[in-house]
């Protein structure tokens, strides 16, 4: 049972826009910034979005993040086949004094 809640799966067709939600509480998302990671099978996770809505250099602007209250969302527009991966949200939790992750969302490009 993860502290942050994500849907286990999401899907879309090439060119579509998909969103992945991440729900938390006041001790994590509500009081701290949210980061998103993606992971291809058999590889290490990579930073996708940091500080709620910032993209590291090299990440296409098709990826965007937002946060409102105790929830956050990752949006992917212009879906491409290479976007098929697992996506995780994360935030620092002030009550647990540690990082918490969502359970992950497996994105399938149909």
In the chain, what's the furthest Cα-to-Cα distance?
A: 41
Give DSSP secondary structure letters for 42-53: TS--EEEEBTTT
CA 6 to chain CA mean position, Å: 8
97 near other proteins (CB under 8 A):
yes
* Integer Cα distance of 13 and 89 in angstroms: 22
Closer of 8 and 13 to other proteins (Cβ)? 8
Among 19, 31, 50, 77, binds other proteins (CB under 8 A): 50
Q: How many CB atoms lie within 10 A of CB 64?
A: 18
Site for other proteins, residues 6 to 35, rule: CB under 8 A: 33, 35
CB under 8 A: which stretch of 20-28, 38-46, 59-67, 71-79 binds other proteins? 38-46
Footprint on this chain of other proteins (rule: CB under 8 A):
2, 33, 35, 37, 39, 44-47, 50-51, 56, 86, 88, 90, 92, 96-104
């Amino acid at each position: 049972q993860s502290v942050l809640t994500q849907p286990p799966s999401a899907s879309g067709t090439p060119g579509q826009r998909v969103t992945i939600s991440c729900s938390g509480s006041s001790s994590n998302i509500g009081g701290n910034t949210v980061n998103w990671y993606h992971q291809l099978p058999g590889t290490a996770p990579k930073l996708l979005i940091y500080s709620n809505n910032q993209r590291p250099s090299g990440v296409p602007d098709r990826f965007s993040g937002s946060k409102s209250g105790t929830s956050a969302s990752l949006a992917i527009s212009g879906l491409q086949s290479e976007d098929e991966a697992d996506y995780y949200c994360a935030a620092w939790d002030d009550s647990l004094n540690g990082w918490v992750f969502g359970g992950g969302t497996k994105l399938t490009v149909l």
